[in-house]
Each structure stands twice: as C-alpha cells, then as structure tokens.
Structure 1
Amino acid sequence: MGELRLVELSAATIVAVNNLSLKPGQEEYLSPVSYGVAATVVNPQSTWQRVVVDDGGAVVGFVSANFDADDPQEHFRSVLWRINVDADAQGSGVGRFAVEKLVAEARDRGFDHVDVVYEAGEGGPEAFFTRVGFTPVDETEYGEVIAEIRI
C-alpha cells in the first residue's frame, strides 16, 4: 500500500470518506459516515476523526473515536466509534495503521485503554478487531460485544 498518513476530516476529504466502498455484507454493520460526523458538532472537544490517505493522496480509510474521561459509562470514555477502510484497500494494513494511530492518541491523552463496541456476526468486524489487538471484555445490554486494547 505504500506510505500512509492521517489527516483531519475536512471539507476536502468528507466526500471521499462518504464514498468509501464496502465488501458485500459489510453495509449492515455501518451507519452512514455523515451520522458520525455530526458528533463533531455536538462534542468537538472529545471527538477525534481522521482520514487515512495513501502516498498518492487517495482517501483509503476513516477512523472516528471519542475521548471523554467523565463519561458515566466506562466503555465510552476512550472508544473507537467507527473505522472504515475502502473495500479495495482492506487487508493491506490501512485499518491496523488507523488503530495504531488511535491508540497513540489515547495514550497521549492519558488513557490506559481504547474500547470498541460492535455487533458480532458473519461478515462483521470481529475478526479485524481481534487481529489488531482488541480483546472482548463485556457485553452491552443489547448484546453487542465490548472489546478493549490495553495501553
């Protein structure tokens, strides 16, 4: 894949982020990116959204997280909300790169872990999250998996 870098979500990248393609079956696990972008407006101090760009300048991924040490729910204090990798770039290290950068951001902010909440199921994100280091630790009241990376 070459050299990857993170840039802030902006007017220049949001259209490309919204047009990231998915593999068949993945769409049932994701809401539109624009839903997550709204979080920046509601909570700009704690929302962290970045775009993964390859060495040719193409948008190949998107990662969104939240950091709020005062959130009443422990698993929402340092949490990966969303990660999208373009279908053609999946399996090439883009997702791992994004998670590594997210973990570094959490560490810089003084957190000792990053959580993720996801729905288990065939074609879902569980295998990816396990590969990049998340370990299931709990379940939400709705049966979703809560997994974490300890820093």
Structure 2
Amino acid sequence: MRRAVAADLSRIVAMLSDDPLGQGRESGLVDATYRNAFESIDRDPSHYLAVADRGGEVIGTLQLSFLPGLARHGMWRAQIEAVRVAREARGEGIGRFMFDWAIDKARAQGCGLVQLTSDAERTGAHEFYDRLGFKPSHVGYKLQL
C-alpha cells in the first residue's frame, strides 16, 4: 500500500467505473474535476488516497479519512470510502490486505472507530465487510445537491 500519486489517477478512475453502479456515476475519463479532487485530497493531511501496488501495477484503491468529533468523548474516527479492487485481482485477498492496512493506519492515528458506507445494492461488498468484523449499525441518508 502506498499513497496515490497523480500518475495513478487514470487507473483509479477506471476501477471506480468498473461496475454497474460506477458506470452510472463515473465518467471513466480523467478530467479537471477528478484532478482537482485528487489535489484536494492529496494536500489535506486528514485524507489519504491509497493504492495497492503490485510490481508497479495499481490493483486496488481506497480513501482513508481521519475525522475529529465531539461525540464519544472526542473520539477520532477513520472513514473508509471508494474501495475498489481491480477485476483481474479479485479473489486474491487484496481487499483484506487493504483493510488490514487501513485499520492499522487508523489505530496509529489514534482513531477509536473505523466506519464506512456502502451502496445498498453492493450486497457482495456487505458480505465482505461482515467477514471483516464490521457491523451494520446505522441507517444512512444522502441528499443529492
């Protein structure tokens, strides 16, 4: 696992686009909006865009964000988002490897909780998160702007 660099952006966007939900949300082409978002994430120390790199090939990605809060006695939380494993690397333990890395990073940052959201349609992902020990504890809401 390593911090993503600008040269990884095309591969990351391709992975984000490589499923039915992603195809409807992502353009698949790296444009100024993706580059601007990458630059914002990259310069903010509370956010870490990571890639799983195997021999110079990006085969997975996730975003790890560290969130301060007053609830739970001021506990910091780690938020994991945009998790993807390249189609050709699925079933090889890359997802577990990425989550182990992210959870270790969260502990090192002093976080007391790791949380994530997942689209309701991603039932396979939900089964994976269950196997990792995550519990479906909340109902999430979004307001599209």
Scaled by the length of structure 1, what TM-score is found? Answer: 0.71
Residue pair 1:64, 1:80 contacting (<8 A) in 2 also: yes
**Matched residue count:** 135
Q: Once superposed, what is the RMSD of the aligned Cα atoms?
A: 3.3
1:104 counterpart letter in structure 2:
D
Change (3 A) 1:138 1:29: farther
Note if 1:25 corresponds to 2:23.
Answer: no
Tell me the CA shift for residue 37 of structure 1.
2.9
Write 1 or 2 for the structure with the bigger share of strand: 1
Structure 2 distance, partners of 1:131, 1:114, is 15
TM-score when normalising by structure 2: 0.74
Unaligned regions of 5+ residues in structure 1, if any? Answer: 1-5, 143-151
- Report if aligned partners of 2:49, 2:61 keep a CA contact under 8 Å in 1: yes
Q: Which has the higher helix share?
A: 2
Q: Superposition pairs for residues 2-21 of structure 1, below 5 Å?
A: 6-20=1-15
Q: Share of identical aligned residues, percent?
A: 21
2:82 corresponds to 1:87: no
Counterpart for residue 64 of structure 1: 63
Structure 1 stretches of at least 4 aligned residues deviating more than 6 Å after TM superposition: none
Larger Rg: 2
Q: Is residue 2:128 matched to residue 1:128?
A: yes
For the residue of structure 1 that corresponds to 2:62, the secondary structure is strand
Q: Which runs of 5+ in 2 are unaligned?
A: 29-33
d(CA) in 2 for partners of 1:122, 1:136: 13
* Counterpart secondary structure, 1:92: coil
**Within-5 A mapping of 1:110-121:** 110-121=110-121
